Chains A and B, each alone.
Chain A
Amino acid sequence: MTNEQQFIHNYTTMTINEIQDEIVEEFSDYSDWMDKYSYLIEIGNDMPPYPEEHRVPQNVIEGCQSTVWIYASLTDENKIHFEADADAIIVKGIVGLLIRVLDNQTPDEILDTDLYFIDKIGLKENLTPTRSNGLLAMIKQMKLYAMAFKTKIGDKQ
């Protein structure tokens, strides 16, 4: 499945946990770290281009040795659309996984989710706050976006 198909696939059918399970299944093929990293590199390389107008300081995630940008917008169905980029490709692959899980979900679904796939695919060590790739900061930022959009939707209704 190409990455684009994957995104469309996600949009239409799958819940957050179904996508997480799918990722865990994919990574179970790789016992070696080099294979996992190769796969993350592939995911990073397949990410859709990040819109240049969103490459601004307020979209930068702090706390990374690599620079990470995440931008979120609300779709017509009140779901959140995430776009992201990173200058280090493995980090970009990691943020690509987060997007695959959280993109096109509702704010409530994003806020309530437990991202267990990170532990199950062996990336948990990257979750401590002092880790320089900022995975924890990325998740926090995505949930903050969800919180902000939830408030915005609430105000409209």
Chain B
Amino acid sequence: MYDIANIRNQFPILNETVYGKPLVYLDNGATTQKPQCVLDVINDIYMHKNANIHRGVHHLSNVCTDLFEQARKTVARHINALSDAEVIFTRGTTEAINLLAFSFGETYCRKDDEIVITTMEHHANIVPWQMLCERKGMKLRVAEIFDNGELNTEHLYSLLNERTKLVCVAHISNVMGTVNPVKQIISKAHSYGIPVLVDAAQSMPHKTIDVQDLDCDFMAFSGHKMYAPNGSGALYGKAKWLNEMVPYHGGGEMIDKVTFEKTTYNQLPFKFEAGTPDYISAVGLGRAIDFMEEIGMAAIEEHEDEIVKYTINQLGGIPGIRFIGEAKEHSSAVSFLLGNVHPYDTGMILDKMGIAVRTGHHCAQPLMDRFGISGTVRASFGVYTTKEDIDALVKGVDRVRMMMS
């Protein structure tokens, strides 16, 4: 049985009140709250273990190095990477994609090459590619979506050609919760010899991701969206690519030998981890993964899918509700508009009722343009989301409707 009371008890922040009302936290797509075990591990390191990693001769440095490398092993095991060396720690998805756009771009891309993305990408999976295209004189091709928020895969496939260098696609849309058929996309792209990046920022908290089963070439995610500390995250990449790619940042730790004439680089993954990494957040990420696995990834997915269905069902009963994104495969978030009410009005009123949602364009302005809207109200879910949270949201939205009519 999914013991939601026990899960909620592990998140101290869920006992907070805002404006004197119990917190109803439905902004998990932006960031999740942290369980006590993650908070404890951070505190424990700062109180008893902290020292910089990989370079110390002394005891504490070795302790932290071991913890950091253990966290890398945990990530690698969780996503079923072939080797730990394929996991590069970053500050999150945005940094992971910027790293890839630079290093992949400098290594493999030339003028007139093309990158394929989709209409539903987050700005973090658009702008780095635009910057690469500007730098190299390349072209960004954008796969269309259908009105129900599903990806038009046939259109995406029609964009693939001998100039396509990389396909970059979100696993789950941060706005609509659409789950894209990434395995099928990867298989198709590979038949043309084209590698694929999966932006798993929204899917890692909700699903088991097996990079070998998907056969993705790259995968990026953020720790803070999966119960881990801010400033943690990773880029997974197949070793064959990472070994060939030039480094992103230069500095300490990423070198083999430095002279003023020439520097040679360290092996994977250190080649891509210049400077002192946020090793404490990385350890927190490892602990957060353990926390999720203790609940069970299948159980989490089942619980959250049920919450999505319940939300659509309950909100759907309010007159004037329109959902943005009604894909068959739908997970993690629900976006909606209430009649002609501006999403910001809805969000401001819900806020005063203690309900935290996100409003606006959700860093996906091209998607808003696609639907001809300025923004949506988004409720997004986590392991601790209850049906009572959704009932409070529905009651709140209905209150908004009455105030606005």
Contact = CB atoms under 8 A, between A and B. Distances in A.
B404 interface: yes
B352 interface: yes
Interface string B362-403: 000000000000110000000000000000000000010001
Contacts, number: 43
Which of A34, A66, A91: most chain B Cβ within 10 A?
A: A66
Interface in A49-104: 65-67, 87-91
Contact of B374 (A37, A38, A87): A87
Contact of B345 (A34, A88, A132): A88
Given A65-B359, A89-B342, A34 B375 contact: no
Contacts of B341: 89
B19 interface: yes
Interface string A9-46: 00000000000000000000000011001100100000
B360 interface: yes
Contacts of A90: 344-345, 348-349
B111 to A, nearest CB: 35
A96 to B, nearest CB: 14
Given A88-B345, A133-B344, A33 B374 contact: no
A65 B375 contact: yes
Interface residues of B, number: 16
Contacts of B344: 65-66, 88, 90-91, 132-133
B403 A132 contact: no
Given A34-B403, A89-B345, A90-B348, A132 B374 contact: no
B28 to A, nearest CB: 20
A132 B360 contact: yes
A44 to B, nearest CB: 9
Interface of B: 19, 341-342, 344-345, 348-349, 352-353, 359-360, 374-375, 399, 403-404
27 contacts: A33-B19, A34-B352, A34-B353, A34-B403, A37-B352, A37-B403, A41-B403, A65-B360, A66-B342, A66-B345, A87-B342, A87-B374, A88-B342, A88-B344, A88-B345, A88-B348, A89-B341, A89-B345, A90-B344, A90-B345, A90-B349, A91-B342, A91-B344, A91-B345, A132-B344, A132-B360, A133-B348
CB-CB nearest 9 A-B residue pairs: A88-B342, A33-B352, A88-B344, A65-B344, A66-B344, A88-B345, A65-B360, A90-B345, A90-B348
